[in-house]
């Protein structure tokens, strides 16, 4: 059997500034406590926990970044880690407000609340549960798994216990989610197709493998110009389909699903396909360019999806 890069499950780590998010990630990586400056934007780390690969998005906690970027990352995550500084009562109301925003943006992802800085004078856990109004969560999101842990990133208190619970709940949650894959395209930002697979039963003139990449690239370029800073679009919805796009400096991957598919899974699939391409073909792309077309093994993307996402991807017929 072929060896493929393993899929990465996207997890967001959110909380106000100085809650200890980045120090938490560093402890997971090194096993030691390291004091750091607050994250000013976004840090991404890859971490393996109990044979599962997680892609951790450590999101900056200052107000402007919360307002501009949290929603997009939280919506497409498979799990939410919300960290609260339990020693800072002045910021507690603000933290609770943003916690509930995150829960509205993503109504199903497993939630782990970490009440950090238990090594300092802090609010007691029963009082914090009341303050967060956690008891109403089962009524708002009956299918969501959630738990709150009192931890100390500095001493390591309860971190192992929390991670064991979280990784188990993520595995259960992932086993219940799927997308119906209608098509997948990977192409240069100039619109030149690299990989084109159309699974849906559509007339060729309505959605052709040659036309779609250029069409999606034109939409992305238009959105980038309108929005500035090269942000572009992350998704497009039509009456029957959803399209999720993942962009690199030179590449763009588009996953087309039916309208009922889980878009967070679609984005994870797109990210994994791009990572697979980068790992499988580390040399210059021009090496595979023949007569204006890229000649890759015909089913290398499909084979990868069938091995890594057999529980989460259904191919349209």
Residue bearing tokens 């400096």? 249
pLDDT in tens, 170-198: 988 988 888 899 888 887 766 677 777 77
For residues 305 and 186, what is the distance between their CA atoms, to the nearest angstrom?
14
Q: What percent of the chain has pLDDT over 90?
A: 35
Per-residue pLDDT of 193-241, as tens digits, reads 777 777 765 544 444 454 455 556 555 554 454 434 444 457 777 788 8
User: For domain 179-315, which CATH number applies: 3.30.450.70, 2.102.10.10, 3.90.550.10, 3.20.20.70?
Assistant: 3.30.450.70
Q: Helix (H, G, I), strand (E, B), or coil: what is residue 53? A: strand
> Using CA atoms, how far apart are residues 224 and 227, in angstroms rounded to an integer?
5
Residue 34 has pLDDT above 50, yes or no: yes
pLDDT digits (tens, 9 = 90+) for 242-296: 888 888 777 788 888 988 888 888 888 888 888 777 766 555 556 666 666 666 6
Q: What percent of the chain has pLDDT over 70?
A: 79
DSSP 39: P
- Predicted pLDDT at 230: 44
Average pLDDT for 117-123:
90
The pLDDT value given to residue 76: 85
For the chain, domain boundaries:
9-174, 179-315
Q: Which of 116, 63, 111 is nearest to 86 (CA)?
A: 116
What fold, for 9-174? Answer: Rossmann fold (3.40.50)
Collect contacts of 244-251 with beta carbons under 8 A, ≥24 apart: 244/270, 245/216, 245/220, 245/270, 246/270, 246/271, 246/274, 247/189, 247/220, 248/274, 249/189, 250/188, 250/189, 250/285, 251/186, 251/187, 251/188, 251/189, 251/194, 251/277
Q: What is the pTM of this model?
A: 0.74
């Amino acid at each position: 059997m072929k060896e493929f890069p393993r899929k990465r499950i996207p997890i967001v780590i959110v909380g106000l500034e100085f809650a200890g998010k980045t120090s938490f990630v560093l402890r997971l990586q090194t096993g030691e406590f390291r004091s750091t400056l607050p994250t000013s934007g976004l840090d991404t780390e890859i971490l393996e926990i109990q044979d599962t690969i997680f892609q951790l998005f450590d999101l900056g906690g200052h107000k402007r970044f919360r307002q501009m970027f949290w929603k997009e990352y939280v919506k497409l995550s498979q799990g939410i880690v919300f960290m609260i500084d339990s020693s800072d009562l002045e910021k507690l109301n603000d933290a609770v407000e943003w916690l509930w925003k995150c829960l509205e943006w993503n109504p199903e992802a497993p939630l782990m609340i970490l009440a950090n800085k238990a090594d300092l004078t802090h609010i007691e856990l029963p009082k914090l549960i009341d303050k967060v109004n956690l008891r109403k969560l089962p009524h708002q999101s009956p299918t969501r798994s959630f738990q709150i842990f009192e931890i100390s990133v500095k001493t390591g208190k309860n971190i192992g216990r929390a991670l064991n619970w979280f990784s188990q709940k993520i595995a259960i949650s992932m086993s219940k989610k799927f997308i119906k894959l209608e098509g997948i395209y990977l192409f240069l930002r100039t619109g030149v197709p690299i990989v084109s697979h159309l699974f849906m039963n559509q007339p060729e003139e309505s959605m052709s493998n040659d036309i779609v990449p250029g069409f999606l690239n034109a939409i992305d370029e238009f959105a980038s110009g309108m929005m500035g800073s090269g942000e572009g679009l992350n998704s497009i919805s039509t009456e029957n389909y959803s399209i999720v796009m993942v962009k690199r400096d030179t590449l763009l991957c588009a996953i087309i699903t039916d309208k009922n598919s889980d878009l967070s899974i679609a984005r994870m699939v797109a990210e994994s396909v791009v990572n697979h391409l980068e790992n499988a073909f580390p040399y210059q792309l021009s090496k595979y360019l023949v007569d204006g077309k890229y000649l890759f093994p015909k089913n290398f993307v499909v084979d990868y999806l069938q091995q890594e996402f057999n529980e989460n991807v259904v191919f349209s017929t």
